[in-house]
Amino acid sequence: MSDTGTLTIVGIGPGAHEHTTPAALEALRVAEVIVGYTTYIRLVQDLIAGKEIIRTGMTEEIGRARAAVERARAGAKVAVISSGDAGVYGMGGLVFQVLQESGWRRGDAPELRLIPGITALNACASLVGAPLGHDFCAISLSDLLTPWALIERRIEAAAVSDFVIGLYNPASGRRTRQIVRAQELIRAHRAGSTPVALVKSAYRRREHRVLTDLDHLLEYEIGMLTTVIVGSSQTFVFEGHMITPRGYTNKYTWEGSALPGQVPGRSLVVAEDS
Amino acid sequence: MSDTGTLTIVGIGPGAHEHTTPAALEALRVAEVIVGYTTYIRLVQDLIAGKEIIRTGMTEEIGRARAAVERARAGAKVAVISSGDAGVYGMGGLVFQVLQESGWRRGDAPELRLIPGITALNACASLVGAPLGHDFCAISLSDLLTPWALIERRIEAAAVSDFVIGLYNPASGRRTRQIVRAQELIRAHRAGSTPVALVKSAYRRREHRVLTDLDHLLEYEIGMLTTVIVGSSQTFVFEGHMITPRGYTNKYTWEGSALPGQVPGRSLVVAEDS
């Protein structure tokens, strides 16, 4: 073991270890100190027995990030964990901000490493089909740190331009209006029959999935652990799966030959443009 | 081994096996037939020795999907592989469309399974910092299957509403105008100094990363294997890393206490609104 501390920011994926990468598992194995939100620590409990654990509550992210940086600067091998990917609404950015605040420079200890993870959006998508098969966006409905006006602006832009929309943090015990408003904003630009998936606790013990549509999504329970995926105008439901096609049938027959006027490897020719 | 065929759609992640999940590795192990694009087959070559392999070129996706479905319906254990996540611009959606075309119903053979993978966007992000720390979108600049007008509409909407923007398929030997136009569209709404990351072949042998900005990104090589990440107005560069903050400093001091007027667990109070 070297004397220099290391700081590894680890995305552990949705929860089940079979979806945690070997790199993430190895990072947990070699760490001396594990820093993370209580819920995420619990997801990897069996992998980190005997290690020092720094866990705090949900609004204490800054304290966790500071503790991680301090311990790593003092020489410890520290792993900061987030569920999903630590860089997506996770601890990644905050750890960098704390490093910056502390005067850290490239080349200084601790040595930094980021290990990507399966995001909640991808985990949830895989449980309902292939809803992210074309352009998509992720929007957090939490206005705890972001002005609600900006969140509305993003929902509207995504709705107008036909992105598949993944909504993170759609609601909590206290926040219930945001998903109602999001539904309203999207519905103004998209059919009520647009497929919507509600996936809770993907790949965890209490996993629950609902396939519904834009007009009916508010009839189901939506909470902190739910990810909402709203389809684009092209998304369809097939035998219980939600699919957003890439667009092969715009250009090819099922035999794989190009449709009249289309050339493989060339831009799609759109009738209205010709 | 059962007599019923299985069809597993597997995201193998960026390439290095340490970022391929145990579930994906296991799916490759038990498969009898592996179906995938030549480049992706090569990434897992050492894991699939002795298995039957169906690989075809880039514009032959329909043929590959059909072969996979036919073999699985005939009783084989088939794994269809994509790099990244198979549901994100991958083979996932197309396999469902072929199943639909073939008259498949839920409960019929083959048994279906989707295994999520680390997407190119997340893999690339982890190599440059935490650029996806807040709302982001993914847009493919390939107009081979999608009308260019729609792609432009999405780029513009994402630029206006301050999403971090991940651009897939930014260019190829033949397609070189799209990234030029994308830069122009985004630049109309975002500062020229906005951080931009260009990551090629993340976690593969020829991995290459460039951190630049919106005004200078076109001075670098951008090709088929490059993912472009354009920061939001909040994204900054710190010691060679690209960071999009979640917004903790909108509400808290570095000591973790709430700023005047802010309440932990409650909506962010925005000065202009009060």
CA distance A2 to chain B (A): 23
Q: What is the pLDDT of residues B69-125, one digit of tens each?
A: 999 999 999 999 999 999 999 899 999 999 999 999 999 999 999 999 999 999 999
Residue A69 has pLDDT above 60, yes or no: yes
pLDDT of residue A56 exceeding 50? yes
Task: Specify the pLDDT at position B68.
Answer: 96
CB atoms within 10 A of CB A77: 21
Give me the mean pLDDT over the A7-29 stretch: 97
Residue B142: alpha-carbon gap to chain centroid: 14
Residues of A in contact with B16 (CB under 8 A): 23
Enumerate residue ranges in chain B where pLDDT < 70. 1-3, 57-59, 272-274
**Lateral strand order in the sheet of A52-56:** A52-56, A33-37, A77-82, A6-11, A111-115
pLDDT in tens, A187-235: 999 999 999 999 999 999 999 999 999 999 999 999 999 999 999 999 9
What ipTM was reported for this prediction?
Answer: 0.96
Report the percent of chain A where pLDDT is more than 90. Answer: 88
Please judge whether B157 and A158 are an interchain contact, meaning their C-beta atoms are less than 8 angstroms apart. yes
Q: How confident is the model at residue A153 (pLDDT cuts 50, 70, 90)?
A: very high
For residue A169, the one-letter residue type is N
Digit-coded pLDDT (tens) for A98-116? 999 999 999 999 999 999 9
Residues of B in contact with A274 (CB under 8 A): none
pLDDT at B77: 98
What strands, in cross-sheet order, belong to the sheet with A241-243?
A129-130, A241-243, A236-238
Residue of chain B with shortest Cα separation from A10: B126
CB contact under 8 A, B18 and A13: no
Residues of B in contact with A175 (CB under 8 A): 267
A270 touches chain B (CB under 8 A): yes
Report the DSSP beta bridge partners of residue B34. B53, B79
Q: Look at residue A1 in the predicted model and tell me its pLDDT.
A: 43
Query: Looking at residue B52, what is its pLDDT?
Result: 96
- Find chain A residues with C-beta within 8 A of B47's C-beta: none
Give Rg (Cα) of chain B: 22
Q: How far apart are CA B117 and CA B119, in angstroms?
A: 6
Per-residue pLDDT, averaged over A53-65, amounts to 84
ω into residue A110 within 30 of 0, thus cis? yes
Query: What digits encode the pLDDT tens for the residues B251-268?
Result: 999 888 899 999 988 999
Assessment of whether the complete model's pTM goes beyond 0.90 = yes
- To the nearest 10°, report the CA torsion of B175, B195, B184, B118: 40
Asked if A223 reaches chain B (Cβ–Cβ under 8 Å), the answer is: no
Question: Residue B1: its pLDDT value, please?
Answer: 43
Residue of A nearest to B99 (CA): A238
Q: Give pLDDT, residue A273.
A: 47
Please choose, from the candidates B15, B10, B17, the residue with its C-alpha nearest in 3D space to the C-alpha of residue B34: B10
- CA gap B200, B206 in Å, rounded: 8
pLDDT at residue B58 in the model: 55
User: Quick one: angle between helices A177-187 and A148-160, nearest 10?
Assistant: 30
Express each pLDDT in A76-100 by its tens digit. Answer: 999 999 999 999 998 999 999 999 9
Q: Give residue A256's pLDDT.
A: 83
What per-residue confidence (pLDDT) applies to A274?
39
A96 to B243: CB separation less than 8 angstroms, yes or no:
yes
